[in-house]
Amino acid sequence: MKCYKIGFIGYGNMAKAISASFVSDKNIVGVYAYDVNPSASDGKTEMKNSAQEVINASDYVFISVKPQSASSALDGLDFKGKIVISIMAGMDAESVHALCHGSEKIVRVMPNLCARVGKSVNAFCTYNLDIEEKEAVKEFLSCFGLPSEIDSSLFDVITGLTGSSPAYSFRYAKALTECGMQNGMSFEQSRDLVLFCVAGCMDVLKSCSSLDEMQTTINNVCSKGGTTIEGINVLDKRDFDETVISAVNAAIARSRELGKK
């Protein structure tokens, strides 16, 4: 059984969520991190005094700094012989390679905040990895969600679609919870019922094989002259579908914009 040591350069919320998932993986024998903020430690990862110390101690190194800080954070570091895993939005593999001196093996990953509960969508693509190395990456990504290999040309799309969309789902659930409270329910009661309902709805949609089937599922809830259709009519008048699509497209456009800087 091969064992791995993993490092993080940048130890913010996403890095903490990812590293916490590695505790139960018996193949991962060491997790290290460095962050410019001395208070970043959460007591679960061995903090190093410098980014280079993290690199030296690790086989795979997650780059989890903000894209706009990457140049200064990675300047002068030597990644020779290491496999770099970047979770920076808008930063393509060529840019990562240019910043990570000495590394010839790059993985680009777009996770999302659901890594906190082990249910992140982890879209990824690899450059110059052999089969064993790619399988190791899939194993790491499986620790905190669903690994899905995609073409590099789709990364801006996936950034908006699954990287950013949890915020929109959270917003929807928050609005439903608030509505329950406005109509006399406690926060806890409204939240629990809303979240159970939303989770159940997602399970129902798993059986759909087309947009038409998804629409049929929506129609099945909307009895003519009933209560649900009244709500749907309000959503339609306010262009609900187009609003959601526009929100995701705005995030996609921003990812492309970041990639050009």
Q: What is the pLDDT of residues 102-111, one digit of tens each?
A: 999 999 999 9
- Distance between CA atoms of residues 247 and 165, nearest Å: 9
Distance from C-alpha of 39 to C-alpha of 200, rounded to nearest angstrom? 39
Full-model pTM: 0.86
Name residues whose C-beta falls within 8 Å of residue 136's C-beta, 6 or more positions apart in sequence: 2, 4, 27, 60
Say what percent of the chain tops pLDDT 90: 81
CB-CB contact of 140 with 118 (8 Å) = no
Pair 120, 215: CB distance under 8 Å:
no
- Rounded to 5°, the CA angle 230-232-234 comes to 75
Q: In one letter, which amino acid is 130?
A: D
**Which residues are registered as beta bridge partners of 120?**
145
Sort strands 46-47 and 28-34 into parallel, antiparallel or unpaired. parallel
Calculate ∠ Cα 24-29-33, nearest 5°: 95
Contact 120, 158 (CB under 8 A): no
pLDDT per residue as tens, the chain (261 positions): 588 999 999 999 899 999 999 887 888 899 999 999 988 888 888 999 999 999 999 999 999 999 888 999 999 999 999 999 999 988 888 999 999 999 999 999 999 999 999 999 999 999 999 999 999 999 999 999 999 999 999 999 999 999 999 999 999 999 999 999 999 999 999 999 999 999 999 999 999 999 999 999 999 999 999 999 999 999 999 999 999 999 999 999 988 887 776
How many residues comprise the chain? Answer: 261
Closest among 3, 16, 102, 98 to 62, alpha carbons compared: 16
> What are 76-118's pLDDT values in tens digits?
999 999 999 999 988 888 999 999 999 999 999 999 999 999 9
